[in-house]
Amino acid sequence: MTLSSSLNAGVSGLSANASKLASISDNIANSSTAGYKRVQTDFHSMVMGSTGGAYTAGGVTSTTVRLVDERGPLVSTNNPTDLAVRGRGMLPVASLTDVEAGNGAPTMMLTTTGSFRTNADGLLTTESGLVLLGFPALADGTIPAYPRDTSVGLEPVQFNVNQLTGEPTTEMNLGINLPATSTEAGAAGTAETLPIEYFDNLGKSESISISFVPTVPGTGASNEWTIVLTDSASGGATVGEYVVTFTDSRTAGGALASVSTTSGGAYDASTGSVIVNVAGGPMEISIGEIGSSDGLTQLSDTFAPASISKDGSPVGNMTGVEIDASGYVRANYDTGVSRVVYKVPLADMPNPNGMVAMDSQTYLPSTASGAFFLWDAGDGPTGDVASYTREESSTDVATELTNMIQTQRAYSSSAKVIQTVDEMLQETTNIKR
């Protein structure tokens, strides 16, 4: 009956508008919730067709979708581990309860922002109980090749803030100018000595003393020096001795011409370095390649250590944590040293809006969202990681209030249809009187 279909259409209108009002109320309630993704309700008509020339009302149905790919504005903060994704991609997190339970690998969830701070156990967590996940780095700060289509390699980002740490010195680069006048006939033949500090395997300060002894000829200039390296940790023992000569050619005057090994590791012409064994193990010392002026040179009459660089660090206390745009998590120490300890990837999938919404602005990948892939931040389709930043709610309160007015009017109109059908049915009943 046409009147009955009108009644059903009115009821469906009430139900659909009630669903839309529920999504609007959720959006308004979370207008100040960081990282909240607004819900959108859409209406779809239902067509029942016509029979015998009479039209049958089909009514309306509603669907809701959470717009995960719609980002809110970014705001700056004072916390270095307040994170937000600038562009496409999501941060991997896990429930703190799940992590502390220790029942295997925690379930990976995804979010676009979070205010992370170290808790009593050193875990980077939010107040809502989310733990940041990342790929752990090796001792040298490099990130191994973890699988990217699964969360198996991810671990909770954790620090021991009271732990002392230091790095042994394994490499040195020498940029030193030797005086050309010291290898001329009649020169005094005075050796130039340069002690260089390094750190052993226990973080103690030691030194390699490098003596540059010129070869003084009877006539002319030899352009030759003997380099002797002694190690304080080995009781002052000689760990390497080399004879170097320099060219006085018009095009490359002052550059290395040859290096011969008396003791210690052989000179590697391809890298311009020698490897000597100090008390704690091998150390690579770069003196420059043949024909190059990047390492040792012999010019003019001045001994000048122009540039000396080395790795390693003394023992220090951790003072803070920072995460850069590429997702590298660095621990900073009071010695000025910064170490890479984790790398936080960004997850992306074909349909972010198809994920299952969870509490605390987190989401689970699903069959509707498609399979996820863990990208390095800035690679592929993903954006970068912004620290000192939070993402605000994507809700626009003015728009939601306008939608609320429209929904209220539509609901009232559907109710009016039901009231009108009721009055018409009453008129039909009165025909019998």
pLDDT-derived band of residue 433, with 50, 70 and 90 as boundaries? low
List 224's β-bridge partners, or say none.
245
**Model pLDDT for residues 420-429, shown as the tens digit of each residue:** 888 888 888 8
pLDDT of residue 307: 93
Q: Among all chains, which residue has been given the structure tokens 């770069």?
A: 286
Closest to 23 measured CA to CA, from 419, 387, 357, 418: 357
Question: With 90 as the cut, is the pLDDT of residue 147 above it?
Answer: yes
Helices (H), 61-206: 96-101
Which of 228, 104, 248 is CA-nearest to residue 183? 248
Does the pLDDT value for residue 5 go beyond 90? no
Are 109 and 362 spatial neighbours (Cβ–Cβ below 8 Å)?
yes
CB 131 within 8 A of CB 125: yes
Q: Which two tokens stand for residue 264?
A: 């210690």
d(CA 150, CA 363): 16
Q: Are 130 and 110 in contact (CB under 8 A)?
A: no
The CA distance from 37 to 27, in Å, is 8
Estimate the share of the chain in helix, then strand, then coil, as percent rounded to the nearest 5: 20, 40, 40
- The residue-averaged pLDDT of 171-190 equals 96
193 in Cβ contact with 228 (< 8 Å): no
Contact predicate 212/192, CB 8 Å: yes
Q: Give the pLDDT band (50/70/90) at residue 164.
A: low
321 has which bridge partners? 331
The alpha-helical segments, DSSP class H, found in 323-396 are none
Q: Which residue has the higher pLDDT, 203 or 302?
A: 302
Take residue 108 and report the two structure tokens written for it.
Answer: 């990976």
Q: Per-residue pLDDT for 162 more than 80?
A: no
Return the residue matching tokens 């987190």.
362
What are 222-242's pLDDT values in tens digits? Answer: 999 999 999 999 999 999 999
Provide the residue type at 90 as one letter: M
Place of tokens 């859409």: 42
Which position has the higher pLDDT, 231 or 44? 231
* pLDDT given at position 422: 81
pLDDT value of position 73: 95
Angle 159-163-164 (CA atoms, 0-180°, nearest 5)? 130
Residues 63-77 have a mean pLDDT of 94
Cα 180 to Cα 176: distance, rounded to the nearest angstrom: 12
* Whether residue 10 has pLDDT greater than 90: no
Q: How many alpha carbons lie under 13 Å from residue 339 in its C-beta half-sphere? A: 25
Q: 319-357: per-residue pLDDT in tens? A: 889 999 999 999 988 887 888 999 999 999 999 999 999
Band the pLDDT of 263: cuts 50, 70, 90: very high
Q: What is the mean pLDDT of the chain?
A: 92
Q: Which sequence spans correspond to the domains of the chain? A: 2-67+394-430, 74-158+344-391, 169-311
Nearest to 175 by CA among 55, 56, 297: 297
Query: Which region among 55-64, 178-187, 350-359 has the lowest average model confidence (pLDDT)?
Result: 55-64
pLDDT of res. 104: 80
* pLDDT greater than 60 at residue 1: no
pLDDT at 354: 95
Domain 169-311: which CATH number of 3.30.420.40, 3.40.30.10, 2.60.98.20, 1.10.3450.40: 2.60.98.20
- The amino acid that residue 269 corresponds to is A
Secondary structure letter of residue 184 according to DSSP: B
74-122: pLDDT as tens digits: 999 999 999 999 999 999 999 999 999 888 889 999 999 999 999 989 9
